[in-house]
Amino acid sequence: MDISQLQLDSDGKLRHFLSIDGLNRQILTDILDRADSFLDITHRINKTVDLLQGRTVINLFFEASTRTRTTFELAEKRLSADIINLNIATSATNKGESLLDTIRNLQAMQCDMFVIRHGMSGASQFIAQHVAPHVAVVNGGDGWHAHPSQAMLDMYTIRHHKKNFEPLRVAIVGDVMHSRVARSQIHALNMLGVHEVRVIGPKTLMPTDIEKMGVTVFHKIEQGLKDVDVVIMLRLQNERMQGAFIPNQAEFYHTYGLTAERFTLAAPDAIVMHPGPINRGVEIESTVADSKHSVILEQVNLGIAVRMAILAMTIRTSGEASR
Ligand code: CP
């Protein structure tokens, strides 16, 4: 099934949240606006609302995660959902049970939503095609393919600081090839109408035909950073590299690392972003990561409100489906 048909119901509302590709500007804007309404709640002493009371969310993380897993769990708690964090290491998937059989068994326990991170591209889409009509699937990152909730919290952070997307020049720097975050960000930035999306990195870490995604490619960081409003640094995804894509990390830092000196090429009020985890001295200099221009930890914080919005918008639609 087409990813748009899978993600949106007949009224154009979110059914599953799997990929930015296949959504539209209105849905993205709705998520950002809904996050605004939740941001106030996250600043209160009592941070909970009962929107998901009585609903069960199962977090299935087949890959390591600190930020996505924790902020989804916080978002679920703040919406008063019942939460299960399946411990994959001690689950029956280690006894040869297939992914689909695991899902069918968990679904038999009457859950309403799965938040899934998986190393295989397309895993969340595959699961969404097989769940019951009342169950929603949220992608917490799948292989090289997509990390849509990260892209949305990044868009929210950009809007928080820059207000309008239209005039912005945004540079995404580093290992674009292996980055599901970069793919989702590029779709979201273009859908929201930014002036220019630049990708900067060595040819070996740049996907073939990346220009077709609506980006300008730079292989020299000094050229790519010139006058940009937002710099998004990426981690070297060593766990996804099979073979040598760069001579070594020191050489990568020498050629593509965001140093304080290079950052002066960006617009004077530019912000620095990074999905995390950051590797200091590999893709970013500590003084830049910790500078007043850095919004890296703010991204994490704002991610809670954005994930509350995604959960609320997805589960409501699914809850209206057959029960
Ligand atoms: N940005 C991100 O996905 O971080 P985690 O791997 O820690 O979830």
Best probe residue, ligand 1, of 65, 71, 235 (max atoms within 8 Å of C-beta): 65
Ranked by mean pLDDT, which of 37-41, 138-142, 234-238 comes out on top? 138-142
**90 shares its domain with 161:** no
**279 shares its domain with 153:** yes
At 193-242, the pLDDT tens digits run 999 999 999 999 999 999 999 999 999 999 999 999 999 999 998 777 66
Give buried/exposed letters for 152-175 (b at 16+ CB in 10 A, else e): bbbbbbbbbebeebeebbbbbbbb
Q: Which atom of ligand 1 is nearest to the CA of 275?
A: 1
**153 shares its domain with 235:** yes
Residues in contact with ligand 1 (CB, 6 Å cut-off): 65-69, 141, 147, 150, 275-277
Give CA–CA dist 51/285, Å, rounded.
42
**7 shares its domain with 109:** yes
**233 shares its domain with 107:** no
**186 shares its domain with 213:** yes
Ligand 1 centre distance from Cα of residue 66 (Å): 6
Q: Is the pLDDT of residue 54 over 70?
A: yes
At 85-113, the pLDDT tens digits run 998 877 877 788 999 999 999 999 999 99
pTM of the entire predicted model: 0.94
pLDDT at position 322: 39
**33 shares its domain with 161:** no
Q: If you take atom 5 of ligand 1, which residue's CA is the nearest one?
A: 65
**287 shares its domain with 176:** yes
CB of 134 closer than 8 Å to CB of 318: yes
> How many independent structural domains does the chain possess?
2
**34 shares its domain with 153:** no
**51 shares its domain with 190:** no
pLDDT at position 246: 77
Q: Is the pLDDT of residue 318 over 80?
A: no
Best probe residue, ligand 1, of 61, 74, 145, 150 (max atoms within 8 Å of C-beta): 150
CB of 116 closer than 8 Å to CB of 60: yes
**259 shares its domain with 159:** yes
**96 shares its domain with 152:** no
**What CATH number does the domain containing 283 carry?**
3.40.50.1370
Q: If you take atom 1 of ligand 1, which residue's CA is the nearest one?
A: 275
CB of 185 closer than 8 Å to CB of 157: no
At 260-288, the pLDDT tens digits run 999 999 999 999 999 999 999 999 999 99
Q: Which atom of ligand 1 is nearest to the CA of 70?
A: 8
Quote the domain boundaries for residue 88.
Answer: 3-146+301-321
